[in-house]
Amino acid sequence: MNESIKHLEEKIAYLERHVLEQDKAMLELAGDIGRLRKEMQKLRERNAASGGVSEGDGGAASPAEDRPPHY
């Protein structure tokens, strides 16, 4: 009986440590996603300010722009 309780306590300790490690990783990933969203927004604003392709255009280039540079 005592051995099984000790075994369960070890499992709980392992699982608690595992959950803490996952929480740290999730927090780190959430920070990365936040930074990437800000960077994407800046790039979209810069693209729109320079007259780039808007999101509604689908990103399709005109046939003249689609030709290789040696034409």
pLDDT per residue as tens digits for the range 15-55: 999 999 999 999 999 999 999 999 999 999 999 998 876 55
Query: Whole-model pTM?
Result: 0.56
Kindly state the tokens that stand for 17: 């440590």
pLDDT, residue 25, reads 98
Give the Cβ contact number of residue 29 at 10 Å.
10
Q: Is residue 8 a contact partner of residue 16, using CB atoms and an 8 Å limit? A: no
Residue listed under structure tokens 């003249």: 64
- 44-60: pLDDT as tens digits: 999 999 887 655 555 55
Task: Record the tokens describing residue 46, joined without a space.
Answer: 């810069």
